[in-house]
Amino acid sequence: MLSKDLDICVDKIKNDLHQNPDYVYKYINLKNNNLCLIYNDALCASDKIDNFVLKNLSFLKDEKIRKNLPDYLYNSIPNNNIKFIYTYEDIYEKLQTGFSIIINKYSTALAVETKKNLTRSITESKVEKTVNGPKDAFVEDYLVNIGLIRRRIKSKDLIVEKKTLGKHTKTAVSIIYMNDIVEKKIIDEVKERLATISEKDIMDSSYIRSSLSKNKYSFPMIEMTERPDLTSMYLLEGKVCILVDTSPFALIFPTFFVDFFHSPEDYYQKPRNVSFTRIIRFIAFLVAILVPAFYIAITTYNHETIPLTLLVNFAAQRSGVPFPAFFEAILMIITFEILKESDIRLPNQMGSAISILGGIILGEAAVEAGIVSPIMVIVIAMTAIANLIFSHVDVVNAIRMWRIIFMIFASLLGIVGIYFCSFLFIVILSSYKSFGKPYLYPFAPINFKVLKDSLIRLKNNRGEKNPLLVNNEVKK
């Protein structure tokens, strides 16, 4: 509890805060009361302190008001977020979240919210861009993000549960779901998993994702999105969302393999156009994973699978290359990954120049030097272009990992190795469960009612109750 001696109380606060220079201690002397105003200069706005705190203290002229100072300030300060606090720990917590603290000799402290606006304004999505549909995206303030969702879902059944995680960070985390749609077992499992990481310091939503997801080496079990419209769509399907303060990405789960082939723009266009685009995405996925492995197989083992003229052309191109097809493909993939990383890390003005230099000059020079064959440059270019369709980093990394696995099997067993690796790929994905739900749903177990919005889109049915999250309908 706070000391009744104001000087002792303030000295203890200064010592506990290690005399940090960004904390301001302002003494205010009245006739019968001495006050101390404490705030963090980096987190608090000076205009709010003037309007909400100092201006009201300047009107204290009545002796009776000064004797009942805490109650007077509580009732007179025009701020919605104001409360009494009685312990040092509460003071430290409020100071570190942008509150100003008024301490008096009655061992009572008053916390007034005077937060400085340290977040950027709502801008257009940078990762998940669309031609049609809303353009707003989440920001680092999770209260603003909740507002973007509630602006779209005006329902009393939209539940927001707040938790605080992190021993040192004290990060605000919100669990959001539709109470009349979501399956309660999913909410219970989420809370259990969050309880296991309550002491872990959280800096971003990806910290929670890595802790909640049991699968860390393949396709992601939890989807991340910066689009409030997509998040609202998922909530109306019965999924759960987690918003983390200081992070512009929401976590969505359960997540399924087919979700990564969908885009928010699919529901802002005609169904027939969307169906064609989705088929293209599935084809691009197969190209990104299988084309290098298939090339290695046909040039190493299974020569009979391609026409003779094409085989002779391949052999002529590879006649001057000293490396086997597998090493040649690995060399080109590593080169492309280096170019991609340099393009991401460098400023925009330099990134395009690096891409042109690496894509044209280095590729042509490698062919002329006899390091790689021209057909291998085409194969890796097709793979890289197909990979660009997917914007989720975890999906891109998973595709890259499985591409190399398929190449290893193809270099050992040829086409048979590709068949065996494909079987292994399907078995592994079928064994995954995202918060108790089959990862390959609605393909395994098959559900024809949901399939109409998986591979193709037949109608505008997003937001309808998804039978995926109802146990008895899944069993059917």
The pLDDT value given to residue 472: 38
Mean pLDDT confidence for 272-300: 90
Percent of the chain with pLDDT over 70: 88
Quote the CA–CA distance of 397 and 393 in Å, as a whole number: 6
Q: What is the pLDDT of residues 334-367, one digit of tens each?
A: 888 887 777 777 665 555 556 655 666 677 777 7
The pLDDT value given to residue 226: 92
DSSP assignment of 190-225: HHHHHHHTTTS--SSHHHHHHHH-S--SSS-SSEEE
The pLDDT value given to residue 360: 65
First to last CA, the chain: 59
DSSP assignment of 236-247: HTT-EEEEETT-
Q: Which helix (H) or strand (E) holds 61?
A: none
The pLDDT value given to residue 132: 82
Residue 63: pLDDT band with limits 50, 70, 90: low
Range with lowest mean pLDDT among 103-112, 211-220, 388-397, 439-448: 211-220
Q: What is the pLDDT of residues 78-97, one digit of tens each?
A: 767 888 888 898 899 899 88
Mean pLDDT confidence for 257-276: 84
Q: Identify the CA nearest to 78 among candidates 112, 115, 116.
A: 112
pLDDT for residue 73 is more than 80: no
The pLDDT value given to residue 117: 84
pLDDT for residue 432 is more than 80: yes
Residue 328: pLDDT band with limits 50, 70, 90: confident
Q: What is the pLDDT of residues 199-258, one digit of tens each?
A: 788 888 888 888 887 666 678 889 999 999 999 999 998 899 999 998 999 999 888 898
The pLDDT value given to residue 60: 62
pLDDT for residue 466 is more than 60: no
Mean pLDDT confidence for 163-180: 89
Centre a 10 Å sphere on the Cβ of residue 438 and count the other Cβ atoms it contains. Answer: 20
Percent of the chain with pLDDT over 90: 23
The pLDDT value given to residue 476: 40
Q: What is the CA radius of gyration of the chain?
A: 30
Model's pTM, two decimal places?
Answer: 0.82
pLDDT for residue 470 is more than 70: no
The pLDDT value given to residue 350: 54
pLDDT for residue 113 is more than 80: yes
DSSP 121: P
The pLDDT value given to residue 471: 39
Mean pLDDT confidence for 157-164: 91
Quote the CA–CA distance of 313 and 375 in Å, as a whole number: 10
Compute CA 188 distance to the chain's CA centroid, rounded to the nearest angstrom.
Answer: 22
19 Cβ contact list (under 8 Å, min separation 6): none
b/e map of 418-430 (b: 16 or more CB within 10 Å)?
Answer: beebeeeeeeebe
